[in-house]
């Protein structure tokens, strides 16, 4: 029997999530929609939790048509929740994601004006889902927070269609267990994973992030390039400390029971306006430079932000690739543009730019 699943994604990277699903053999992609990739999986297993470019993965329990703007829609949703096989789906999610049975929680969202609110949807559906499972339903109404370990259901309503689905992992996939320490402006891990994928790291020798912050790009890159030499610099010693701590956690949990791989990535304090590496010694750069919004450039970049690109050009081998998250489409001197992907992230619309270093000079004339 096939199970329909949906991977939730940052707006803009849905096709990259679909590609990861196909590459990892997780199922057959049935549709790519706004912030969602629908796919069919023969036997949902723990491999679903390895999906790195997705924000979350859910098993689809019901697709309900005819959901209008009036409160009658709540009765329709409650009926659909009563009729679906919550028990089998919960068992499947438990096998796949190892979630405990601490009750039922529901999180709802909808598009457009309606004569009911999200809590009305959640309570209508949640009570019906909990009953056959013999579990308590934990409402979110009045700011209440469901206890950890509840099975998490999601209802999305768009136009006249509602989807009721059950989250597979204990926490949303984007909340990486390694990332317990952070810095302002830190990168969303699934976007970092998508950037690493775009950099085609399979044949990379040395990969650099000259403004590494909490280390997200390189920690995500290591999953694709365990063979590569990974180097992260930041001008802020606190960021370097955070990156190293996150990496230790990432590679310790991945090697449970064995000694941690603490030297998987080399971290150091350095100014990206003068990168302490020889000319042409780097094959790939992954970078999310300071944009002066959440994080201001410091050191040599404060007066001359363009130095970053001249330094990247200097240390990168000819033909080497940069994948950068920048506020606008951007072509620094000495680079060609391979691809630009616009994202919607925290209410902004930055782009992921894939740049190739050309043989020419990296200086503006
Ligand atoms: C947007 S954050 C990077 C976030 C990072 N990708 C992450 O996942 O946490 C920009 C980083 O650039 C660093 N930075 C600012 N000026 C710098 C400079 N001159 N050299 C190196 N790093 C710099 C900041 O300290 C900050 O950590």
Residue 234 beta carbon below 6 angstroms from any ligand 1 atom: yes
Give the closest residue (by CA) to ligand 1 atom 26: 213
User: Is a pLDDT exceeding 50 seen at residue 207?
Assistant: yes
Domain shared by 121 and 210, yes or no: no
Domain shared by 203 and 322, yes or no: yes
Grade residue 45 by pLDDT with cuts at 50, 70 and 90.
confident
Residue 89 lies in a domain: yes
User: Is a pLDDT exceeding 50 seen at residue 47?
Assistant: yes
Residue 173 lies in a domain: no
Residue 56 Cα to ligand 1 midpoint, Å, equals 27
- 5 or 46, greater pLDDT: 5
Residue 71 Cα to ligand 1 midpoint, Å, equals 49
Q: What is the pLDDT of residue 100?
A: 61
Pairing of strands 3-8, 28-33: unpaired
Q: What is the pLDDT of residue 364?
A: 56
Residue 181 beta carbon below 6 angstroms from any ligand 1 atom: no
Residue 240 beta carbon below 6 angstroms from any ligand 1 atom: no
Grade residue 336 by pLDDT with cuts at 50, 70 and 90.
very high
Mutate to test the pocket of ligand 1, among 236, 267, 307 (most ligand atoms within 8 A of CB): 236
User: Is a pLDDT exceeding 90 seen at residue 53?
Assistant: yes
Residue 150 beta carbon below 6 angstroms from any ligand 1 atom: no
Q: Are 357 and 317 within 8 A, CB to CB?
A: yes
CATH of the domain at 332: 3.40.50.150
What domain range is 109 assigned to?
A: 3-167
Residue 236 beta carbon below 6 angstroms from any ligand 1 atom: yes
Domain shared by 324 and 265, yes or no: yes
Residue 363 lies in a domain: no
Domain shared by 343 and 222, yes or no: yes
Query: pLDDT of 209-241, one tens digit each?
Result: 999 999 999 999 999 999 999 999 999 999 999
> Running DSSP on this structure, what letter comes out for residue 142?
G
Residues near 114 by beta carbon (within 8 Å), at least 6 away in sequence: 69, 73, 157
Count of Cβ atoms closer than 10 Å to residue 5 Cβ: 25
Residue 213 beta carbon below 6 angstroms from any ligand 1 atom: yes
Q: What is the pLDDT of residue 111?
A: 87
Nearest to 113 by CA among 70, 79, 76, 154: 70
Residue 148 CA: distances (Å) to CA of 71, 104, 170: 30, 10, 9
Structure tokens at 118: 């999200």
Domain shared by 246 and 279, yes or no: yes
Residue 184 lies in a domain: no
Q: What is the pLDDT of residue 365?
A: 41
Nearest to 18 by CA among 42, 35, 1: 35
Domain shared by 260 and 140, yes or no: no
Residues near 221 by beta carbon (within 8 Å), at least 6 away in sequence: 192, 196, 199, 201, 207, 228, 230, 286
Domain shared by 204 and 100, yes or no: no
Grade residue 347 by pLDDT with cuts at 50, 70 and 90.
confident
Domain shared by 26 and 112, yes or no: yes
Atom of ligand 1 nearest to the CA of 299: 19
Give the closest residue (by CA) to ligand 1 atom 10: 290
Nearest to 166 by CA among 70, 243, 97, 72: 97
Listing DSSP states for 161-204 in one string gives EEEEEEE-SSS-TTS-TT--S--TTPPPHHHHHHHHHHTTGGG-
Residue 162 Cα to ligand 1 midpoint, Å, equals 41
Residue 271 Cα to ligand 1 midpoint, Å, equals 10
- Average pLDDT on 105-127 reads 95
CATH of the domain at 74: 3.30.2130.30
Structure tokens at 286: 């992954």
Query: pLDDT of 297-335, one tens digit each?
Result: 999 999 999 999 999 999 999 999 999 999 999 889 999
Nearest to 11 by CA among 31, 29, 30, 36: 36
Residue 245 lies in a domain: yes
Dihedral of CA 141/145/151/156: which sign?
positive
Query: Which pTM value belongs to this model?
Result: 0.92
Residue 160 lies in a domain: yes
Residue 320 beta carbon below 6 angstroms from any ligand 1 atom: no
Domain shared by 163 and 229, yes or no: no
Residue 119 lies in a domain: yes
- Average pLDDT on 142-162 reads 92
Rounded CA-CA distance 279/153 in Å is 52
- 359 or 244, greater pLDDT: 244
Domain shared by 104 and 222, yes or no: no
Number of domains in the chain: 2
Query: pLDDT of 236-261, one tens digit each?
Result: 999 999 999 999 999 885 544 444 45
- 98 or 74, greater pLDDT: 74
Q: Are 233 and 212 within 8 A, CB to CB?
A: yes
Domain shared by 244 and 116, yes or no: no
Q: What percent of the chain has pLDDT over 90?
A: 79
Helix, strand or coil, per DSSP, at residue 82: helix
Residue 211 beta carbon below 6 angstroms from any ligand 1 atom: yes
Q: What is the pLDDT of residue 12?
A: 97
Nearest to 326 by CA among 292, 357, 284: 292
Residue 362 lies in a domain: no
Domain shared by 132 and 243, yes or no: no
């Amino acid at each position: 029997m096939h199970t329909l699943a949906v991977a939730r994604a940052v707006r803009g990277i849905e096709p990259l999530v679909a590609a990861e699903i196909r590459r990892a053999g997780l199922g057959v992609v049935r549709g790519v929609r706004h912030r969602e990739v629908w796919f069919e999986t023969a036997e949902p297993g723990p491999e679903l939790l390895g999906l790195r470019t997705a924000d979350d993965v859910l098993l689809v329990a019901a697709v309900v048509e005819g959901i209008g703007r009036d409160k009658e829609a709540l009765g329709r949703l409650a009926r659909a929740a009563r009729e679906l096989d919550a028990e089998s789906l919960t068992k499947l999610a438990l096998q796949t994601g190892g979630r405990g049975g601490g009750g039922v929680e529901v999180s709802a969202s909808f598009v457009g004006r309606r004569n009911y609110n999200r809590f009305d949807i959640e309570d209508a559906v949640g009570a019906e889902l909990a009953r056959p499972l013999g579990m308590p339903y934990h409402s979110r109404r009045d700011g209440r927070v469901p206890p950890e370990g509840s099975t998490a259901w999601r209802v999305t309503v768009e136009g006249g269609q509602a989807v009721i689905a059950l989250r597979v992992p204990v926490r949303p996939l984007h909340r990486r267990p390694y990332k317990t320490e952070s810095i302002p402006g830190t990168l969303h891990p699934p976007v970092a994973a998508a950037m690493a994928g775009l950099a085609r790291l399979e044949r990379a020798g040395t990969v650099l992030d000259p403004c590494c912050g909490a280390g997200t790009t390189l920690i995500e890159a290591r999953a694709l390039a365990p063979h590569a030499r990974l180097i992260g610099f930041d001008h802020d010693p606190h960021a370097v400390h955070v990156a190293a701590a996150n990496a230790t956690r990432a590679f310790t949990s991945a090697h449970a029971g064995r000694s941690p791989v603490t030297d998987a990535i080399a971290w150091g304090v350095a100014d990206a306006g003068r990168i302490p590496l020889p000319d042409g010694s780097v094959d790939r750069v992954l970078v999310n430079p300071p944009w002066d919004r959440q994080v201001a450039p410091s050191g040599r970049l404060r007066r001359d932000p363009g130095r970053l690109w001249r330094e990247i050009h200097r240390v990168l081998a000819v033909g080497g690739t940069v994948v950068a998250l920048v506020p606008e489409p951007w072509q620094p001197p000495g680079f060609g543009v391979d691809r630009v992907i616009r994202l919607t992230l925290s209410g902004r619309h930055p782009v992921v730019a894939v740049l190739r270093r050309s043989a020419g000079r990296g200086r503006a004339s």
